[in-house]
Amino acid sequence: MRVLLVEDDPAIRSGLVRGLAEHGHVVLSASTGAQAIAMLSEDRPDVTILDLGLPDLDGSHVLEMAKVLKSAPVIVATARDDEREMIRLLNAGADDYLVKPFSAAQMDARIRAVLRRVAPPETEDRVLAVGGLRLDPVAREASLDGEALDLTRKEFDLLQALMQHAGEVVTKRALLAEVWQQPWGGADRTVDVHLSWLRRKLGETAAKPRYLASVRGVGVKLTAP
């Protein structure tokens, strides 16, 4: 993927360029708004990561320009975690946002998620299936043995993350990073409680698991019963 990184902080810029390159992306970087707008039209990146606090222009102006140029999807990377500001940016055309601090792995997961949303594969290719479990990430529908599952947004994302790694032990830290976009490990209980809810909705318990098996001290694994 060709990623345009618009970030004025040199430390963050170099760290993210290196981190995303390790995840297989080709990273172009710009440190000002004017430079970013020029690169949007000339280099046609697949995705743009945009910091809002730029020295010459407010990042939201770059976002407007990206929409005018009908360029690649934009992920806003911001230190502003004000809910109203996030809603304003999403309404202004941002495809996603990530609040600082974040890791390169998180940003990589976001890039892939945004690209999946923007260019979804055909239904039969995108639907995940494990045993009697079916999950369509685009239609956001999940079913178990043909019965639709009533999942909250987080439960759906959690199930999706686990089905994408079916048969593998996924650490809670990885789930926190992918589903909650929180790199810190201290919120393990958030994952635990959502797993418990998911178990109930899949008709199983921790004592009698079918699809979701906890691997003590490591993480959780989703397998067909």
Partner 1 sequence: MRSTLRARIIALAVGTALLVTLLAAVPILILLHAQAHAEADQRATYAAQSAADYLSASRQKADLLAPYVARLNGRDDPPVTVILADGRTVGARLDADVADAVHDVTGPHLDADRDKDTLHEVSTPYTTDVPGGRVVQVFTRTPEGSARAVALVTDSSVRSRLAQEYAGVGLVAVALLLVAWAAAEVTGSRLVRPLSRTARTAVALRDGDLSARAAVEGPEEVAAVAIELNALAARIGELLTQEREATADLSHRLRTPLTSVRLAVDGLPDDARRAEVEAGLDRLERTLTQVIRAARRGVREGVHPRCDATAVVADRVGFWRPLAEDQGRRVTLTLPDRPIWVRSAVDDLEAALDALIENVIAHTGDGTDFAVALQATAEGAELRFTDEGPGLPREAATRGCSDRGSSGLGLDIVRSAAEATGGSFGLEEIDAHGRAHAVVLRLLRDGSS
The contact set with partner 1 (CB under 8 A) reads: 9, 11-12, 15-16, 18-19, 53, 79-82, 85, 99-105, 183-189, 192-193, 195-197, 199-200, 205-207
Q: Which is nearer to partner 1, 20 or 62 (CB)?
A: 20
Question: Minimum distance from CB of 188 to partner 1 (Å)?
Answer: 8
Question: Minimum distance from CB of 41 to partner 1 (Å)?
Answer: 28
Question: Minimum distance from CB of 104 to partner 1 (Å)?
Answer: 5
Helix axes 10-22, 104-118, angle to 10 degrees: 70
Q: Which is nearer to partner 1, 19 or 33 (CB)?
A: 19
Q: Which is nearer to partner 1, 67 or 100 (CB)?
A: 100
Q: Are 19 and 7 in contact (CB under 8 A)?
A: no
Question: Minimum distance from CB of 11 to partner 1 (Å)?
Answer: 4
Question: Minimum distance from CB of 10 to partner 1 (Å)?
Answer: 9
Q: Which is nearer to partner 1, 129 or 184 (CB)?
A: 184
Both tokens of residue 93? 């055309």
Q: Are 135 and 160 in contact (CB under 8 A)?
A: yes
Q: Which is nearer to partner 1, 134 or 221 (CB)?
A: 221
Question: Minimum distance from CB of 27 to partner 1 (Å)?
Answer: 12
Q: Are 98 and 181 in contact (CB under 8 A)?
A: yes
Q: Which is nearer to partner 1, 7 or 46 (CB)?
A: 7
Question: Minimum distance from CB of 200 to partner 1 (Å)?
Answer: 5
Spatial distance between the Cα atoms of 49 and 29, rounded to a whole number of angstroms? 9
Spatial distance between the Cα atoms of 97 and 201, rounded to a whole number of angstroms? 29
Spatial distance between the Cα atoms of 210 and 212, rounded to a whole number of angstroms? 6
Q: Which is nearer to partner 1, 85 or 141 (CB)?
A: 85
